[in-house]
């Protein structure tokens, strides 16, 4: 495309990107490739997003490393060597640092700078970006690459400030690590972050108290060093391997069993479940094709996992307390390394918050309705204000003074999870209304970045300077997202997909279920000259 070649003052760019994680880095690479001037603002001191912040013990990805990576560069995917089936946080962070260096991205990224406000100026057609360093930058395009799980949720518990020991949130973990040796430690929360960190902290702490509000379904990762023969096989046709996952309902490799749990006799069903359990990880969800659509089928998987918990945990009463009752995989399924077995350790105590709710945090520890737990450290593994939290932290003002916080007061509304009516030239990557967290994030990010890049190029070719979703297209899309969600079992539990984990957050199912139909829709929209968007000069 023909980029504007007139010299620009340092605070005016063609595009501003917020965030330098997987999404922001690739977006920068692509927009620069169009010849655009681009500035990235990143709150962290380095690249990596989620993988920069979540340095808690045991942190690793629940999607296999050979496919939790970029595919846009054949050289990159050939040269990078993953060491384990599931990459630990530090390795993913090294990978992203490598990407930043390899594609010389750093000069265009301003670190330690949080975007505080975005305001659209009708006359100039540009966004003014106000940053935490007091700076103001203008840009025609603005891309929110702020991540789905980047705004930590810290519960407000009475007396928190009075605790005399140390407190940590898994998503804001100190960079030089934490030593728990000899300590009495509490972990509050048993989602993925709790499930991954609890077995590791238990090995070091003198005493570990796990404060559980809702028991969780977890499948063993069966993590292992990567087999060089397997890696060589994938790399021999990496494009083919990626294509297979692109067309897989989960967007990562998993053997799909095209049989219904309800049409399979119990003994055979258990054999199948066990085979997937031994294989490990999220592919367990592919063991039968009716698990997400029929509660009776769903509960066969639930009961299988409860059976495993009863087998693993020696104390039957404790095992019952660890058994989840809600819909299987309605909250994101966890993938663990020794989670349930950790409760057999003599230094680990489960505190069931349904029996003894937390009343307050005191100087010496946590007081529940039953007793006071004396503690040296408290770890909050309490998750995120997911999908909308990081976006709504920014004071965003669109056309005619419209506020994003008001536009989303009853829950997020987007067209394709890519743009919001009333907010021209503002794109979201893996925003609410797109498959994002229900898919393998990296291919989803690449699909969005590619779509946005093509859109910006199209606008330049056709002399357009402004794009914005029409309210009608947005309304129809929001209805469609809800309609699809309603045929699944996802809305049947209090998950962060629904915003149910954050007090006061509107209860709306945020991601779109179905990667392939979604991609098809995005492609059709582009092919029909961005149908559902208003383009203007």
Interface residues with ligand NA7 (CB under 6 A)? 149, 155, 170, 188-194, 211, 213-214, 332, 353, 381-384, 496, 501
CB 154 to ligand NA7: min, Å: 9
Q: Whose Cβ is closer to ligand NA7: residue 139's or residue 188's? A: 188
How would DSSP label each residue in 432-456? TTSSGGGS-HHHHHHHHHHHHHHHH
CB 259 to ligand NA7: min, Å: 27
DSSP 218: E
CB 213 to ligand NA7: min, Å: 4
Q: Whose Cβ is closer to ligand NA7: residue 264's or residue 327's? A: 327
Q: Whose Cβ is closer to ligand NA7: residue 77's or residue 153's? A: 153
Q: Whose Cβ is closer to ligand NA7: residue 118's or residue 329's? A: 329
CB 200 to ligand NA7: min, Å: 14
| Rounded Cα–Cα distance for residues 219 and 429 (Å) | 29
Q: Which residue is nearest to ligand NA7 (CB)?
A: 191
Question: Hey, which bits of 154-312 come out as E strands?
Answer: 166-169, 184-188, 207-212, 218-220
State residue 328 phi and psi, 5-degree precision.
-65, 135
Which long-range contacts link 361-368 to residues 24+ away (Cβ below 8 Å)? 361/157, 361/158, 361/159, 361/160, 361/162, 361/163, 362/159, 362/162, 362/163, 363/162, 363/163, 363/164, 364/164, 365/163, 365/165, 365/184, 365/186, 366/186, 366/209, 366/211
| Rounded Cα–Cα distance for residues 418 and 143 (Å) | 9
Q: Is 450 exposed, middle or buried (0-12, 13-18, 19+ CB in 10 A)?
A: middle
Q: Whose Cβ is closer to ligand NA7: residue 344's or residue 494's? A: 494
Please list the residues that pair with 38 across neighbouring strands. Answer: 15
| Rounded Cα–Cα distance for residues 355 and 375 (Å) | 20
CB 271 to ligand NA7: min, Å: 29
| Rounded Cα–Cα distance for residues 32 and 135 (Å) | 22
Q: Give the three-class secondary structure for 397.
A: strand
Does residue 429 contact residue 18 with C-beta atoms inside 8 Å? Answer: no
CB 381 to ligand NA7: min, Å: 5
The percent of the chain in helix, strand and coil, each rounded to the nearest 5, is: 35, 20, 45
State residue 516 phi and psi, 5-degree precision.
-65, -50
| Rounded Cα–Cα distance for residues 151 and 384 (Å) | 5
Question: Hey, which bits of 268-388 come out as E strands?
Answer: 334-336, 348-352, 358-362, 365-368, 372-374, 377-380
Q: Whose Cβ is closer to ligand NA7: residue 58's or residue 532's? A: 58
Crossing angle, helix 89-102 and helix 22-33, to 10 degrees? 10
CB 373 to ligand NA7: min, Å: 14
Q: Whose Cβ is closer to ligand NA7: residue 189's or residue 422's? A: 189
Q: Whose Cβ is closer to ligand NA7: residue 73's or residue 214's? A: 214
Q: Whose Cβ is closer to ligand NA7: residue 286's or residue 478's? A: 286
| Rounded Cα–Cα distance for residues 96 and 110 (Å) | 16
Does residue 330 contact residue 293 with C-beta atoms inside 8 Å? Answer: no
Q: Whose Cβ is closer to ligand NA7: residue 49's or residue 398's? A: 49
CB 456 to ligand NA7: min, Å: 30
CB 433 to ligand NA7: min, Å: 18
CB 153 to ligand NA7: min, Å: 6
CB 336 to ligand NA7: min, Å: 11
CB 325 to ligand NA7: min, Å: 12
Q: Whose Cβ is closer to ligand NA7: residue 170's or residue 264's? A: 170
CB 505 to ligand NA7: min, Å: 12
CB 86 to ligand NA7: min, Å: 12
Q: Whose Cβ is closer to ligand NA7: residue 156's or residue 258's? A: 156
State residue 176 phi and psi, 5-degree precision.
-95, 20
Q: Whose Cβ is closer to ligand NA7: residue 154's or residue 526's? A: 154
Q: Whose Cβ is closer to ligand NA7: residue 139's or residue 171's? A: 171
How would DSSP label each residue in 232-266? HHHHHTHHHHHHHHHTSTTSS------S-GGGS-H
Q: Give the three-class secondary structure for 514.
A: coil
Following CA atoms 86, 89, 93, 96 in sequence, which dihedral angle do they give, to the nearest 10 degrees? 30
């Amino acid at each position: 495309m023909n980029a504007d070649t007139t010299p620009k003052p340092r605070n005016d760019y063609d595009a501003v990107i917020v965030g330098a994680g997987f999404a922001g880095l690739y977006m920068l690479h692509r927009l620069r490739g169009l010849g655009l001037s681009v500035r990235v603002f990143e709150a962290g001191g380095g690249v990596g997003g989620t993988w920069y912040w979540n340095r808690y013990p045991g942190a690793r990805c629940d999607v296999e490393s050979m496919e939790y990576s970029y595919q846009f560069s054949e050289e990159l995917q050939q040269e990078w060597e993953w060491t384990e089936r599931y990459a630990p946080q530090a390795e993913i962070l090294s990978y992203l640092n490598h990407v930043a260096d390899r594609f010389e991205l750093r000069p265009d990224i301003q670190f330690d700078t949080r975007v505080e406000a975005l305001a659209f100026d009708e006359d100039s057609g540009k966004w003014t970006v106000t940053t935490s360093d007091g700076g103001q930058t203008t840009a025609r395009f603005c891309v929110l690459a702020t991540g789905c799980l980047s705004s930590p949720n810290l519960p407000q518990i009475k007396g928190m400030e009075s605790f005399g020991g140390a407190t940590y949130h898994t998503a804001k973990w100190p960079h030089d690590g934490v030593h728990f040796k000899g300590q009495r430690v509490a972990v509050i929360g048993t989602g993925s972050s709790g499930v991954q960190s609890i077995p590791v902290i238990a090995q070091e702490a003198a005493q570990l108290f796990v404060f559980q509000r809702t028991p969780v379904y977890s499948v063993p990762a069966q993590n292992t060093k990567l087999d060089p023969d397997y890696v060589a096989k994938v790399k021999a046709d990496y494009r083919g391997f990626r294509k297979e996952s692109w067309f897989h309902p989960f967007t990562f490799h998993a053997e799909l069993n095209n049989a219904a749990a309800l049409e399979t006799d119990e003994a055979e069903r258990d054999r199948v479940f066990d085979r997937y359990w031994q294989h490990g990880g999220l592919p367990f969800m592919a063991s039968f094709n009716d698990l997400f659509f029929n509660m009776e089928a769903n509960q066969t998987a639930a009961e299988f996992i409860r059976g495993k918990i009863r087998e693993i945990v020696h104390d039957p009463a404790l095992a019952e307390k660890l058994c989840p009752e809600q819909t299987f995989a309605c909250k994101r399924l966890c993938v663990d390394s020794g989670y349930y077995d950790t409760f057999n350790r003599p230094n680990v105590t489960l505190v069931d918050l349904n029996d003894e709710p937390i009343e307050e945090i005191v100087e010496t520890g946590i007081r529940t309705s039953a007793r006071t737990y004396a503690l040296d450290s408290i770890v909050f593994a309490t998750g995120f204000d997911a999908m909308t939290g990081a976006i709504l932290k920014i004071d965003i003002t669109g056309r005619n003074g419209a506020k994003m916080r008001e536009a989303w007061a009853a829950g997020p509304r987007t067209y394709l999870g890519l743009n919001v009516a009333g907010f021209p030239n503002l794109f979201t990557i893996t925003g609410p209304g797109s498959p994002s967290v229900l898919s393998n994030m990296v291919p989803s990010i690449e699909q969005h970045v590619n779509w946005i890049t093509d859109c910006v190029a199209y606008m330049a070719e056709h002399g357009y300077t402004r794009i914005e979703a029409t309210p009608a297209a947005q309304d129809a899309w929001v209805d469609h997202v809800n309609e699809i969600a309603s045929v699944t079992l996802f809305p049947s539990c209090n998950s962060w997909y629904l915003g149910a984990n954050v007090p006061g957050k509107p209860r709306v199912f945020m991601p779109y279920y179905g990667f392939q139909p979604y991609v098809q829709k995005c492609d059709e929209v582009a092919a029909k000259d961005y149908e559902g968007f208003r383009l203007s000069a």
